[in-house]
Amino acid sequence: MKRSHRFKRSIKPKKSLDIKLTNSNNEQDITATTSMTLSSSIKPSSSLIRANSNLKPQIPISSSSLISFEKSSILSQDFFQIDALDLAPRLLGKFLRRDDVVLQITEVEAYRPNDSACHGRFGVTPRTAPVFGPGGHAYVYLCYGLHTMLNIVADKEGVGAAVLIRSCAPVCGLETIQLRRGQKTEKPVLLAGPGKIGQALGISTDWSSHPLYTPGGLEVLDGPEPENILIGPRVGIAYASPEHVNALWRFVVADSPWISAPKNTLGPPP
């Protein structure tokens, strides 16, 4: 697949953005301040969100998400074997599925080789070895020994790049998600933050190196491309070099309430 370099020039933040960095592990509970991008005033009710055995969409992030989830197919490994900076925005709108839980990806961050914020900077270790595997596998690590962080490995084997899944919208299995999260809510606080995604999916570090393109276990399925996205600097990487701290490698679905804080660092692509 031919690589697109449309985001690679965004190494420095636009002056119009109010850049404020926060700790990536400070997964603040946020309440939606904007409405879903459905083309009506319809708001999801408990009956619409409740899990069902047919795995049909319950909370689409845009009108295009009204396509039947049952028709979505698992993405091939080739889809993931591109530069992490190209893969990250392409993952927006795609589905994560494990058992009866289906999530739609709304926020991601790209981590690349020679990136002072990427775990690959430590080289191949027992912890980071999955990052250097072939694209399309999971890289799961514990943050502060507490938060389970799901990453999707990008590019070819040996490169050392991945995309962090920061936030999602629930599609199916809300009751299971709430049980795993220990939080009885239908608000974005349920899934706004990377540690919450791993918890909602019920995964552990044992899932590292799991192929996401094979049926069973944890899968990534095709989904509708969002109409608009926003970009900004990644969260909680103050330890990195200035060029990487300021790189606009965070991507979110525009107007979606299912994203984490901070929001004031986000803006349209240049």
Q: Which DSSP category does 159 fall into? A: S
User: Would you state the pLDDT for residue 180?
Assistant: 97
In the chain, % of residues over pLDDT 70: 73
The tokens 């109010």 sit on which residue?
Answer: 18
Dist CA 180 CA 200 (whole Å):
6
Distance of CA 139 to the CA centre of its chain: 13
The pLDDT score that the predictor gives to residue 156 is: 96
pTM recorded for the entire structure: 0.77
Distance CA 248, CA 14 (A): 9
Q: Are 155 and 136 in contact (CB under 8 A)?
A: no
Q: What are phi and psi of 214, to 5 degrees?
A: -115, 145
Q: Which residue, chain included where needed, has tokens 């990377």?
A: 194
In the chain, the domains with their CATH numbers are: 63-253 (3.10.300.10)
Model pLDDT, residue 122? 84
How confident is the model over 240-258, as pLDDT tens digits?
A: 999 999 999 999 999 999 9
Question: What whole-number distance in Å separates Cα of residue 120 and Cα of residue 134?
Answer: 14
Task: Determine the pLDDT at residue 147.
Answer: 84
Low-confidence stretches of the chain (pLDDT < 70) are: 1-70, 144-145
pLDDT of the residue at 218: 97
**Looking at residue 145, what is its pLDDT?**
65
Q: Distances in Å between the alpha carbon of 14 and those of 107, 213, 248, 263? A: 20, 36, 9, 15
What was the pLDDT predicted at 70? 67
The pLDDT of residue 69 is: 66
